[in-house]
């Protein structure tokens, strides 16, 4: 399909970005790869689009994200002059922070249940990552006056917490692709109306919004596990907005911590240190020591990524020391998102050492993390910590030890429906290829097991 005239709007944005056609094509391919898709975009296609040829809808969205990252502002296909069947409104769904997060979530849930692909193929937005940094003011009460409905209390709050905990345990045991539609329906049909109910006290309303935030955060985590990074980010943003509105101390900062972790994982360091530091400062002196350790260790990882080696190690050490300090208050509901906090601290400390090139220390911390969680309850995350530990052993040339650790990881993957675990096994096969070629027995046997795993 072609337009009647060359696309001057797109030409202007490419000029503004400073990218060559070849560099832009590479950027589009990178965005697509983040969403689990492989494109063959090249500079010739860029010229076709400038001459008026419309790319496919999904490709147009990837092009908009690529240019957004290089112009520093959020762009949609419509901003690029790409009209026709492409729906510009879809591209910003969930990428704003309004007075009532439920208003943003309802159309997202409808699109999920209708299996609309524009959300599941959406890409991570650097502009979206900066939103919480400009949104730390307290918005509690902004939408409270508009809430109507029946009177609810702590019994309903406890019920929502119990259900979210159940979905969370199912997620860890069976993977993010299990029970996702059921969680969407539960949040839409049961939790959203409760968030708009009348409450016996303001404190009860706060706890309900915090519980809802945890449920939306879990939905973001499920999207992350499925490799749907753009959708995960949108859910994290709305989870953040609910946490801010709840006014529960530290909860909003915890989600900023999650967003920093996502940016680090995607090699998008923009705003990560700001998110981690702001989240840490929002909680400092206001939460128990164990919860504070979770904030500090992610901050340590951002410092390591920023090349601040001494500060990163000191912060990671401080996080581990907090685990053994006087516990203080009870660990809040939202801080138990990934199970035992100590395991999360060890795993993230491993990533600090990995970033700094200390693979021996990283392997030790990954092993410690894997044993700090009940394997039957946290099958997926235990297997991924073991995979990461095996990779550290391989970097040190310990092929037999690495194969043993990888075998233990696959033991825990049985019955887990997770894009990340499958990617981990595929990556393992690539790492083992040179050893198979040399007829290293443990590598050949492990590869056979990997083939069997991936064939299911």
pLDDT tens string 91-109 = 677 777 777 788 888 888 8
Backbone angles phi, psi at 247, to 5 degrees: 75, 10
Contact 362, 350 (CB under 8 A): yes
Backbone angles phi, psi at 267, to 5 degrees: 60, 40
Contact 328, 316 (CB under 8 A): no
pLDDT exceeds 90 at position 269:
no
What confidence category does residue 86 fall into, taking pLDDT thresholds of 50, 70 and 90? very low
- The mean of the pLDDT values for the chain is 87
Per-residue pLDDT, 140? 39
* Beta carbons within 10 angstroms of residue 29's beta carbon: 18
Tell me which of 326 and 170 has the higher pLDDT.
Answer: 170
Tell me which of 179 and 436 has the higher pLDDT.
Answer: 436
pLDDT exceeds 60 at position 84:
no
Per-residue pLDDT, 32? 84
Does residue 198 sit in helix, strand or coil?
Answer: strand
How many angstroms separate the CA atoms of 263 and 296, rounded? 17
pLDDT exceeds 50 at position 301:
yes
How many angstroms separate the CA atoms of 369 and 227, rounded? 23
Query: If we measure between CA atoms, which residue out of 361, 371, 377 comes closest to residue 415?
Result: 377
Q: What is the DSSP string of 84-104?
A: TT--HHHHTTT-S--S-HHHH
pLDDT exceeds 60 at position 88:
no
pLDDT exceeds 60 at position 365:
yes
Mean predicted confidence (pLDDT) in 251-269: 92
Mean predicted confidence (pLDDT) in 350-369: 97
Mean predicted confidence (pLDDT) in 198-202: 87
Distances (CA, A) of 370 to 204, 380, 406, 409: 36, 10, 12, 10
How many angstroms separate the CA atoms of 255 and 236, rounded? 7
How many angstroms separate the CA atoms of 375 and 378, rounded? 5
Per-residue pLDDT, 65? 84
Does residue 53 sit in helix, strand or coil?
Answer: strand
* Beta carbons within 10 angstroms of residue 356's beta carbon: 18
Percent of the chain whose predicted confidence (pLDDT) is above 70: 89
The 8-class DSSP code of residue 190 comes to: I
Contact 25, 43 (CB under 8 A): yes
Per-residue pLDDT, 57? 80
Per-residue pLDDT, 4? 62
Per-residue pLDDT, 116? 64
Per-residue pLDDT, 142? 38
pLDDT of 129-188, one tens digit each? 767 776 544 343 434 433 455 678 888 899 999 999 988 888 888 777 777 888 998 998
Mean predicted confidence (pLDDT) in 249-266: 94
Per-residue pLDDT, 221? 92
Query: If we measure between CA atoms, which residue out of 228, 223, 257, 225 comes closest to residue 240?
Result: 257
The 8-class DSSP code of residue 375 comes to: T
Cα 10 from chain centre: 30
How many angstroms separate the CA atoms of 153 and 151, rounded? 7
What confidence category does residue 126 fall into, taking pLDDT thresholds of 50, 70 and 90? low
pLDDT exceeds 60 at position 3:
no
Per-residue pLDDT, 135? 57
Backbone angles phi, psi at 151, to 5 degrees: -80, 130
Q: What is the SS3 string spanning 213-230? A: HHHHHHHHHHHHHCCCHH
Per-residue pLDDT, 118? 64
Buried b / exposed e over 422-434, threshold 16 CB at 10 Å, is bebbeebbebbee
Mean predicted confidence (pLDDT) in 410-436: 92
How many angstroms separate the CA atoms of 368 and 302, rounded? 21
Mean predicted confidence (pLDDT) in 61-72: 85
Contact 41, 29 (CB under 8 A): yes
Look up the pTM and report it.
0.80
Per-residue pLDDT, 134? 63
Backbone angles phi, psi at 198, to 5 degrees: -95, 145
Tell me which of 76 and 183 has the higher pLDDT.
Answer: 183
């Amino acid at each position: 399909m072609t337009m009647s005239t060359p696309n001057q709007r797109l030409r202007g944005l490419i000029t503004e970005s400073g990218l060559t056609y070849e560099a832009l094509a590479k950027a589009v391919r990178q965005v697509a790869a983040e969403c689990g898709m492989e494109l063959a975009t090249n500079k010739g296609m860029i010229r076709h689009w400038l001459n008026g040829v419309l790319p496919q809808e999904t490709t147009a969205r990837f092009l908009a994200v690529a240019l957004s990252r290089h112009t520093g502002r959020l762009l949609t296909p419509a901003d690029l002059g790409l009209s026709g069947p492409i729906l510009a409104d879809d591209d910003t769904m969930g990428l704003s922070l309004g007075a009532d997060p439920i208003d943003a979530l309802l159309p997202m849930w409808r699109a999920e249940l209708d299996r609309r692909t524009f959300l599941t193929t959406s890409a991570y937005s650097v502009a979206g990552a900066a939103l919480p940094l400009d949104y730390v003011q307290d918005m509690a009460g902004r939408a409270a006056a508009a809430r109507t409905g029946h009177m609810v209390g702590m019994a309903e709050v406890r019920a929502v917490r119990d259900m979210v905990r159940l979905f969370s345990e199912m997620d860890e045991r069976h993977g993010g692709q299990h029970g996702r539609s059921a969680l969407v329906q539960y949040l839409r049909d049961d939790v959203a109306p409760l968030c708009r109910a009348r409450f016996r006290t303001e404190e009860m309303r706060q706890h309900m919004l915090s519980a809802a935030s945890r449920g939306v955060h879990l939905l973001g985590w499920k999207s992350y596990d499925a490799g749907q990074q753009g959708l995960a980010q949108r859910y994290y943003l709305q989870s953040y907005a609910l946490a801010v509105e709840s006014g529960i101390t530290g909860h909003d900062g915890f989600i900023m911590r999650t967003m920093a972790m996502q940016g680090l994982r995607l090699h998008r360091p923009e705003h990560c240190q700001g998110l981690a530091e702001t989240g840490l400062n929002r909680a400092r002196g206001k939460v128990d020591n164990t919860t504070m350790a979770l904030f500090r260790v992610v901050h340590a990882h951002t410092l390591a990524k920023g090349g601040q080696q001494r500060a990163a190690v000191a912060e990671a050490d401080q996080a581990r020391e907090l685990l053994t300090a006087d516990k203080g208050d009870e660990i809040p509901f939202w801080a138990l998102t990934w199970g035992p906090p100590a395991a999360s601290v060890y795993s993230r400390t491993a990533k600090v050492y990995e970033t700094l090139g200390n693979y021996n220390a990283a392997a030790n911390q990954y092993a410690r993390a894997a044993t700090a969680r009940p394997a039957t309850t946290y099958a997926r995350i235990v297997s991924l910590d073991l995979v990461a530990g095996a990779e550290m052993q391989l970097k040190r040339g310990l092929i037999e030890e690495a194969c043993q650790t990888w075998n233990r990881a696959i033991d825990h993957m049985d019955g887990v429906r997770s894009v990340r675990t499958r990617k981990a096994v595929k990556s393992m096969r690539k790492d083992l290829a040179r050893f198979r070629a040399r007829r290293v027995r443990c590598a050949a046997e492990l590869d056979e097991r990997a083939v069997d795993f991936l064939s299911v």
